[in-house]
Structure 1
């Protein structure tokens, strides 16, 4: 059984359920460990800062993104450990068959 609680998996998947948040998250994955400045994300997403802030907040609350202030800039980074845990949650029982399956698992 996966280490990630079901409620956290639901929150992560729900956060990625928005096309804008999914594109934003994929940008952060592309940025890698250094992350990306919010100002760069605004430019790359061609989204108003207030809208982007709303989407970043949803991703952060779901545990998929970390934010860190460095001087005047806010750097956003994908939380790769949480992403790995979410992927593990989805594939935890891959190909074991349906015998004795519990729909809550």
Structure 2
């Protein structure tokens, strides 16, 4: 994935309403949701939602399809997976990535990894 595409996708997601829309659409799966249902579930005015969906579509994070008179929006899973792959590429120098857990022993106040 090209850096320019990654920046566009991250910029589109870096806003509270757009992130909420994207997460709702991820939950909906490939079938997606009609715009009206997104607006109702997230309590976003249709005019604002239209702006946010345009931004997500422009960044190729969301796909718009027509079903009769309705517009259905779904996540572009190819772009989403590409973004996740880009962000985690070369993670931990090729080693298994798992966070070290730090716990404190209550009796000695020492930290163990």
TM-score with structure 1 length normalisation?
Answer: 0.87
**What is the SS of the residue equivalent to 1:33?**
helix
Find the aligned partners of 1:38 and 1:59 in 2 and give their Cα distance: 13
Larger radius of gyration: 2
Q: Deviations over 1:39-79 (max 9, x none)?
A: 10111111111100000000001010000111110000001
- 2:22 paired residue among 22, 25, 31: 25
The CA RMSD measured in Å over matched residues stands at: 1.0
Moved over 6 A (4+): none
Deviation at residue 96 of structure 1 after TM alignment: 1.6
1:86 aligns with 2:83: yes
In the alignment, structure 2 segments of 5+ residues that lack a partner are 95-113
Find the aligned partners of 2:84 and 2:2 in 1 and give their Cα distance: 12
Deviation at residue 95 of structure 1 after TM alignment: 1.3
In the alignment, structure 1 segments of 5+ residues that lack a partner are 98-105
Find the aligned partners of 1:74 and 1:94 in 2 and give their Cα distance: 38
- 1:35 paired residue among 32, 48, 68: 32
